Structure 1
């Protein structure tokens, strides 16, 4: 198919920045196409530490503007999507061998006050010998601190932004590569190819936004035939997943001798997510893997603080992502800024806006700033609107998820509590789209194990661009972590057979 439709904005990249910009732009009345060569959030945006946070350690590098913006955004996002974002308390055992206690206290004071905190409780000091949070910590660590940040289902955050963009008129194309973008007659002529069918398509666009993440420079040069004065620096961050080894819903943040801080977070109920590393990376972003040396590093940091010692065989799964950080010339990967910047190239009256850097927490503000950069080309578009808006499913009264979950359980007493929690957390106020008219578990269709039923799978295929088993088991849900190897194989076989039948 060859088409010459003209759109206002063509966005390359289906990570958090691309999806956020698509949502923002479509809500202002712009016509938008977003294309992603793989699945939504398949790259960096599903391989984060799953936190909406200000970045406590960034204070050490004097990133006050970034931390303030992130802290403000933390509560904006919490209000917009309390089903996939929720408060979490972090326990920081103090080691006198590393940062001095006064410096940690000062950092936490700034953290509490820089961003106008309203909802989240502030910092408190802990006596790890008496307070229950100190129970799993080795006896030599007697002093600690507890502070607040938020947890987020990162991949769902991306998908929900894409859903919101589509509901406002944007066209979301996954498994579709942008193969060429050329300036012609004061605009762009863009060619795309569906990676599965081989079908090609041509569109015209007034402005192109390059939100390619680790591929941003490649898109500027190879796809758009242009140049940028800015570069990204690729830094690999790896995580490990192990069985949870402490009581309580709180997380831990520990300092290592090399000044890195490592998060140890409760994950999916009975597991723990531990990370991250910070290693320069010069390979292909799609081939990134956690090295054994990184796994050993993370285990060693945890074992330095906790009574229960983790072993290599405790590692259930690993994942690694490539952070596309704006290259600010810093030698230490941990010191490279997590802030973002833009490069606007207006050659021949065909603007190309490239996004460099950024982090999950500040995606909404980044999206606003991106639209402001190109606002002069669309004088009739609407103004800023996302700050007070909810994401799909976030239309929960008073953003009170606990009350919402209780109401959901009363409305569907036949549903086991874990399933109510699973549906509530992923779909929020839109959970009815999954349950439909079902009045029993049988009404949800085939059961694949854990909390995965056919009704949810059908919804994800129809409404959230899920096209492979991994799209569902790893990104739309985390049910792959709860299914046995046999159940995962059986699900994949059913999925492929069902797909072939409906083709």
Structure 2
């Protein structure tokens, strides 16, 4: 249905749920709701995962440090989800062992061992090994460390490509019927007795959406969407904003494990193998009050992370060694009395059904606060439980038994085999695409899982990949990401859908942007088919 707003045509959309925010929680809610048969529209003012959800430590974990704060329920909930997620998307998530060096300045060794035993036992583990004490003088993880670290502990958690997790969750939502609108801001919302009326604006069009329920999953922007007085008294809350920053430096160790450092100042910092040639170090925890569209690591944070790394590693680094850094603002539901590093990462769902004194019937709104990547699925499930009950939907839960796109390596259901036998599956993919270089096929397998066959559909020789736009990026992949994963510019492709930006030369983004512009002109001239 079309209407007019001045001289511009306005598209009219009716839906059950409008989700504002294209981070991990927003796309998770859109996916769950669409899977229950609800009509869903999601809008994101920038790219998917362009803020907090691509600025994490890339971990699927229970949160070992939260045991010290007696947050046992949060840790157990995350541990249950950890193995469920690893099985649902084994191409973009995988087990990772962590080594925790110990010295006299830390908590007593017996206390750390007790905490790890509790961590092992809080939830059933299907395939991750139990923790153990290690002699760093003999363990391969000891060689890169300063010589004073002679003992430590090893335990297992998981790794995730966070930005790809968001993109694949959005893809699953779309394939279940959701409408995903990136580069589309929600510029106005009005509450009516039975629905919300929202104006969604992009560079090319305006849409007016009538939704029975509104979900504010805008992360650090949560609460700013709604005008004063729109939400029932007392229901409007704002998140506590804490910035976390990371640095990436040339590789400090060549084994596949990560490190967790319990620094004497009380902070927990990780050093992780990253993109084969690099080490990822973070995170910091700093209260944030700046512009949310301009979040960056500070010089002080960079110096802090370098100094911390230098305390543990033989190889010394400085700010000059940092090849990339990123920062994100976490929207926490924790009280300000807690320190930033100790504040809970649990989530809070603020539900306003619209029933308040003098207002017996009004459209519902849900505001999402807090959360972490590991618990995004269960957050979405609980959120849609509230929405479904209000809208009379009785579909029930489904996402715990579903793979994310590309994760169905050995069948449609999440299973241990997909985690334990990923390498054998990848070997079969290498054999099938033997006309391509093995490193390229391995990267495609990791990024796309079984969707590699869609990516390479029609390719019978390396020439079928099309021109190499920048190092490692061929036209066939860029085209796929534009058609299926909402990529529209070089940054989307090089930094969020892939991490090729780390490996490419200076100016790579501009080259990809130029290729996209040429492709768009060819489409408009009819020399290429219109993207799906």
Using structure 1 for the length normalisation, give the TM-score: 0.97
Report the alpha carbon displacement of residue 378 of structure 1 after superposing the two structures with TM.
Answer: 2.7
1:306 counterpart = 2:319: no
Instruction: Tell me if structure 2 keeps the 8 A contact 1:422–1:451.
Output: no
Is structure 2 residue 481 aligned with structure 1 residue 460? Answer: yes
Counterpart of 1:375 in structure 2 is 388
2:427 to 390, 401, 406: 406
Q: Which of 77, 86, 90 pairs up with 2:94?
A: 86
> 2:466: which partner in 1?
445
Partner SS, residue 361 of structure 1: helix
Structure 2 residue corresponding to 1:360, chosen from 368, 373, 376: 373
Deviation at 1:14, TM superposition (A): 0.5
Is 1:489 aligned with 2:510? yes
* Residue 494 (structure 2) pairs with residue 473 (structure 1): yes
**Candidates 180, 201, 207, aligned match of 2:207:** 201
SS in 2 for 1:436: coil
Counterpart check, 1:258 vs 2:265: yes
1:296 to 303, 309, 313: 303
Once the two structures are superposed, what CA deviation does each residue of 1:260-315 show, in whole Å capped at 9, x if it has no partner?
A: 01100001111111100000000121111100100000011110011111122211
Residue 329 of structure 1 deviates from its aligned partner by 3.4
CA drift of 1:371 comes to 1.0
Please tell me whether the aligned partners of residues 195 and 363 of structure 2 are also in contact (alpha carbons under 8 angstroms). Answer: yes
Whole-angstrom CA distance in 2 between matches of 1:408 and 1:318: 33
After superposing the two structures, state which structure 1 stretch, 329-338 or 24-33, moved more.
329-338
Quote how far apart the aligned CAs of 1:340 are: 0.5
1:117-196 equivalences in 2 (<5 Å):
117-194=125-202, 196=203
Alignment correspondent of 1:422: 443
C-alpha separation in 1, matches of 2:200 and 2:508: 36
Structure 2 equivalent of residue 36 of structure 1? 44
CA contact (8 A) 1:180 1:223 kept: no
Q: Is the CA contact 2:95–2:128 (under 8 Å) kept in the aligned structure 1? A: yes
What per-residue deviation string (whole Å, max 9, x for no partner) do you get for residues 467-487 of structure 1?
Answer: 111010110111111111144
Query: Is 1:324 equivalent to 2:331 in the alignment?
Result: yes
Query: Which residue is 1:270 aligned to?
Result: 277
* Residue number in structure 1 paired with 2:409: 396
Where structure 1 has 5 or more consecutive residues not aligned to the other structure, the ranges are none
Q: Is structure 2 residue 352 aligned with structure 1 residue 339? A: no
Q: Deviations over 1:55-87 (max 9, x none)?
A: 111111111111000000000001100000000
Where 1:14 maps in the other structure, the secondary structure is: coil
Q: Distance in 2 between matches of 1:131 and 1:34?
A: 48
- Specify whether residues 223 and 229 from structure 1 end up closer, same or farther in structure 2 by C-alpha distance, changes over 3 A only: closer
For residues 398-425 of structure 1, what are the alpha-carbon distances to aligned partners after superposition, in whole Å with 9 as ceiling and x for unaligned?
3132111100011111111110111000
Aligned-residue CA RMSD (Å): 1.5
CA distance in 1 between counterparts of 2:181 and 2:510 reads 28
Shift of 1:207: 0.6
Could you tell me how far apart the structure 1 residues matched to 2:274 and 2:315 are?
18
Note the residue ranges of structure 2 that are not aligned, 5 or more in a row.
1-8, 355-360, 411-416, 525-532
Instruction: Name 2:364's counterpart in structure 1.
Output: 351
Partners of 2:508 and 2:521 in 1: how far apart?
A: 20
Q: Does the CA contact (< 8 Å) of 1:14 and 1:34 recur in 2? A: yes
In the alignment of these two chains, the number of paired residues is 501
Distance between the aligned counterparts of 2:523 and 2:232, measured in 1?
Answer: 42
Q: 1:222 to 1:461 in 2, by over 3 A?
A: farther
Bigger shift: 162-171 or 185-194? 185-194
CA contact (8 A) 2:188 2:199 kept: yes
User: SS of the counterpart of 1:2?
Assistant: strand
Helix, strand or coil for the counterpart of 2:170?
helix
TM-score normalised according to structure 2 size: 0.92
d(CA) in 2 for partners of 1:119 and 1:435?
32
Partner SS for 1:192: strand
Rounded Cα–Cα distance in structure 2 between residues aligned with 1:168 and 1:410: 32
SS at match of 2:83: helix
- Counterpart in the other structure of 2:22: 14
Alignment match of 1:433 (pick from 440, 449, 454): 454
